[in-house]
Chain A
């Protein structure tokens, strides 16, 4: 597979303040890559370095095999960027802004602008100053995607979008991904990343602390079991390797389990079951788990 983003030991200091330290990860072609961490962890610093808005103190970053600093202008022909907050020029109408944005790319974007503004239900004749925050965000989405970029970089993109519009936006991203676009999705809203991404990097205090595929994260993590049996469950019935937080109350047992799923299922099968639930932990819990572990 082709590496679309290749980051090697990227470090950025703001004077004596920390930015990011030795950040390294690769994003492969066609991936939707999650980049998660709380506010101030270094997500935006990493993204701004990729976009050559700021320059690295050390290390390197490549996009499409080209250096992010030296070849910035060439790289940006195929990048669509949506920041968390969008700001545009005063007095411009939506259509003027979109046409101005399109004028930077040597292609006719008019058809795609029409498609995207229809999807986003955007009135192109309105002045940008008169738009709500959510509608300005829609303008941001359209201007970020109108040139059909090969790489879409999203930095906390859903703030200001109502749930319905978020749904449309995610659908749009999935379609772009199916057409071949690679997506780097930075967020601190973990459910978004869980919903969309196939792989993720977790950043904490400027350092990458975990890189995993979403399936591997789900597989390798604790599952929550709740078992209700017809008869009383013995105190040490589920006392097998991998079981933690075991609580038994009469004929009900709840515990966390990590390990070979067959081993615990064999124990479950030994009971006359009335009800059972096996819950995958959500990313929030996984995220906290990594954060606590690294603390």
Chain B
């Protein structure tokens, strides 16, 4: 418990910054909704002027863009990218900082098993992400009510917003595993940004080509907001795939972390 609390304290500042950033973007974009709604035809025309390839890549559905959930889905694609970055950063940092800050000797010479150490870290990171995710879900509902003033499918909204949490968890797992395999990471962002961009790019390719393989590879396209709006549910295959990545990623992290040498500073 002491390690968990220590890690939570260490992650507090970063969690607050990320949460506030995500909420600020949500509120800023949602505050434009009334304006867009009032001038819906002009906005649709502008969107029609955008290349279909780019529209597909950004997941813009012309017929939905001026509805509350359609517009929210458009805004959400940017929020999802930042959320993925938060997840990846948190995972990479919580493991690699002990080597980077040379505190591994202090921690690993304490009477704790490696499993208990990695568990404390994992749970602390999960808590940070859960805090961001839950606050975001609540705030997204409030922002929708506040800025649209229209009726919408609340279940679909909650499901879409929850995909931020799921996506963050997947990237958190990937970051965690990456740092366990490559512990000597000097700069967190220099690792997490290219990885998140690579998956984002795969997502763009999935949208443009419609290729299932790209979609399987791109975490960003596991949860299609249009599908959620129409069905009020997730696609089972991608939900299962997400759960599998998280379980396998953490299981591998445990095995590798328990057996890895921690070299002198």
The number of chain A residues touching the other chain, given as a range, is 20 to 34
Q: Which residues of A contact B261 (CB under 8 A)?
A: 53-55
Chain B residue with Cβ nearest A73: B113
Chain A residue with Cβ nearest B112: A73
Q: Report the Cα distance A118→B259, complex, angstroms.
A: 40
Convert B252-265 into 0s and 1s, putting 1 for each residue whose CB lies closer than 8 angstroms to a CB of A. Answer: 00000001011111
Q: Answer yes or no: A48 CB below 8 A from chain B CBs.
A: yes
Convert B70-111 into 0s and 1s, putting 1 for each residue whose CB lies closer than 8 angstroms to a CB of A. Answer: 000000000000000000000000000000011111101111
Q: Which residues of B contact A74 (CB under 8 A)?
A: 111
Q: Which residues of A contact B184 (CB under 8 A)?
A: none
Q: Is the interface of A mostly helix, strand, loop or mixed?
A: loop
Convert A35-68 into 0s and 1s, putting 1 for each residue whose CB lies closer than 8 angstroms to a CB of B. Answer: 0000000001000100111110000000000000
The residues in A between 43 and 102 inclusive whose CB is less than 8 angstroms from any CB of B are 44, 48, 51-55, 72-77, 79, 81, 83, 85-90, 100-101
Q: Which residues of B contact A75 (CB under 8 A)?
A: 111
Chain A residue with Cβ nearest B6: A100
Known: A55-B261, A90-B101. A104 touches B111 (CB 8 A): yes
Contact residue among B2, B102, B262 (Cβ-Cβ distance under 8 Å from A100) = B2
Q: Which residues of B contact A (CB under 8 A)?
A: 2, 6, 10, 101-106, 108-113, 116, 259, 261-265
Question: Apart from A51-B109, A75-B111, A81-B109, what 17 extra A-B contacts exist at CB < 8 Å?
Answer: A48-B262, A53-B262, A55-B261, A73-B111, A73-B116, A76-B110, A76-B112, A85-B265, A86-B106, A87-B103, A87-B265, A89-B10, A89-B103, A101-B106, A104-B110, A104-B112, A143-B106
A/B interface sample: 26 pairs, CB < 8 A: A44-B264, A48-B264, A51-B109, A53-B108, A54-B263, A55-B259, A73-B111, A73-B113, A75-B111, A76-B110, A76-B112, A79-B109, A81-B109, A85-B102, A87-B102, A87-B103, A87-B105, A88-B106, A89-B6, A89-B101, A89-B103, A101-B106, A101-B110, A103-B2, A104-B110, A143-B106
Closest A-B pairs by Cβ, 4 of them: A87-B102, A54-B261, A103-B2, A76-B111
